[in-house]
Amino acid sequence: MMVLPAPAKLNLFLYITGRRDDGYHSLQTLFQFVDHGDSLGFEAAPDGELSLSPALPGVAPEQNLIIKAARLLQSQTGCTQGARIHMTKRLPMGGGLGGGSSDAATTLVALNRLWQLGLSLQQLARLGLTLGADVPVFIHGQATFAEGVGDIFTPATPPEPWYLVLHPGIEVATAAIFQDPDLPRNSPVLSLQQRLALPWENDCEALVKKRHPEVAKLLGWLLEYAPSRMTGTGACIFASFDSREQAEQTLARAPESVHGFVAKGCNRSPLFGALQQLDAASPSSDTAT
């Protein structure tokens, strides 16, 4: 079985700079990966058959982004092969950690390899964008300053601290936040250098705190220990630390009902480290470049 990670992302900052006529928002955001996430296992199956286990509570298999990604790849390439996919879900859903998008990205990269389709990362990213706004970032696997509607990328190398990520126990619907009239949408468009030099903020944070007091309460608690922010449209929040120990000590002090994890920031996605290990084990296998 080919086992590959589907890591979480953090939006180290997120500014909303406008709204297009189609309702999508223009953003300036800095993506970084962490070395914690879901894990997916892939095995070839005959006759185009696709299966996923275990099922994700509340998500019908055909709605799962893993199956959607696999079907998309089959239909776009005419591939008649199938796959049995096993999922170890660790990332909370609707957490702003990009779990669904990361699962879709890992599925596209893995099946391109398993089925020997030979698509480039560029081609996979273009397919992935139809599944979710963040899928291309996970496919390119490099920390990125994203602009436009999240589709214009400039590689970036922010510091790679240890993070404590906390989940306030609620799910935030991304679309509802983007539809809320109270969302600020007028941050200035600045260069990456300017953005890096200014304090890092998230334009969705005040609104999500207002709509979800659980987020406000937990963020207030975490800010006592370290600089902290929300990722994406929430609900998760994160704080950065110089050492793993400091992050773990803070997690140990968190209120009992709060779930969280400690992870290292990575400017290169753990997915690509895992693919390199597969290459080293079988150098002749097909790899997207």
Ligand X SMILES: C[C@](O)(CO)[C@H](O)COP(=O)(O)OP(=O)(O)OC[C@H]1O[C@@H](n2ccc(N)nc2=O)[C@H](O)[C@@H]1O
Element containing residue 30 per DSSP (H, E): strand 25-45
Both tokens of 221, joined, read: 């608690």
CA 288, CA 119: separation in Å to the nearest integer? 6
Q: Which residues contact 25 (CB under 8 A, 6 or more apart)?
A: 16, 17, 18, 19, 149, 178, 185
Q: Does 232 bind ligand X (CB under 6 A)?
A: yes
∠ Cα 88 13 131 (to 5°): 45
Angle at 6 between CA 40 and CA 139, to 5 degrees: 120
Whether 9 is a known active-site residue: answer: yes
* Residue 97, marked binder: yes
What is the smallest separation between the CB atom of 253 and ligand ATP, expressed in angstroms? 25
Which of 59, 114, 149, 258: binder of ligand X (CB under 6 A)? Answer: 149
82 and 46 in contact (C-beta within 8 Å)?
yes
Of 195, 209, 217, 210, residue with least CA distance to 146: 195
Cα torsion through 34, 36, 37, 40, rounded to 10? 110
Give the nearest distance from C-beta 6 to ligand X in angstroms. 14
Site for ligand ATP in 111-140 (CB under 6 A): 134
Separation CA 226–CA 189 (nearest Å): 28
Beta-carbon-side half-sphere exposure of residue 202 (alpha carbons within 13 Å): 27
Chain Cα centroid distance, residue 236: 12
Q: Is 59 in the site for ligand X (CB under 6 A)?
A: no
Q: Which residues pair with residue 27 across a beta bridge?
A: 16
Q: Is 27 in the site for ligand X (CB under 6 A)?
A: yes
Residue 144 within binding range of ligand X, rule CB under 6 A: no
Tell me: does residue 228 bind ligand X (CB under 6 A): no
Residue 65 touches ligand ATP, criterion: CB under 6 A: yes
Does residue 110 bind ligand ATP (CB under 6 A)? no
- Smaller CB separation from ligand ATP, 70 or 262: 70
Q: Is 134 a catalytic residue?
A: yes
Q: Give the span between the Cα atoms of 17 and 203, in whole angstroms.
A: 10
Please state the separation of Cα 71 from the chain's center in Å: 21
Which of 29, 74, 202, 233 binds ligand ATP (CB under 6 A)? It is 233
Read out DSSP for 34-47?
EEEEEEEEEEEEST
- Total interface residues for ligand ATP by CB under 6 A: 20
Kindly tell me which of 50 and 246 has the beta carbon lying closer to ligand ATP: 50
Region from 39-47, 119-127, 128-136, 189-197 binding ligand X, contact rule CB under 6 A: 128-136
Query: Per-residue string for binding with ligand ATP, 19-58, x by CB under 6 A?
Result: -------------------------------------x--
* Closest distance to ligand X from the beta carbon of 29 (Å): 6
Nearer to ligand ATP, 31 or 246 (CB): 31
Sole binder of ligand X in the list 74, 187, 233, 246 (CB under 6 A): 233
Q: Which residues pair with 150 in a beta bridge?
A: none
Q: What letter would DSSP give residue 55?
A: P
The catalytic residue among 68, 134, 203, 209 is 134
Residues placed in the known binding site for ATP: 92-102
Residues of the shown chain interacting with ligand ATP in the complex, contacts defined by CB under 6 A: 56, 59, 63-66, 93-101, 103, 134, 174, 232-233
List the catalytic residues.
Answer: 9, 134
Residues of the shown chain interacting with ligand X in the complex, contacts defined by CB under 6 A: 11, 23-25, 27, 29, 96, 101, 132-134, 149-150, 174-175, 178, 232-233
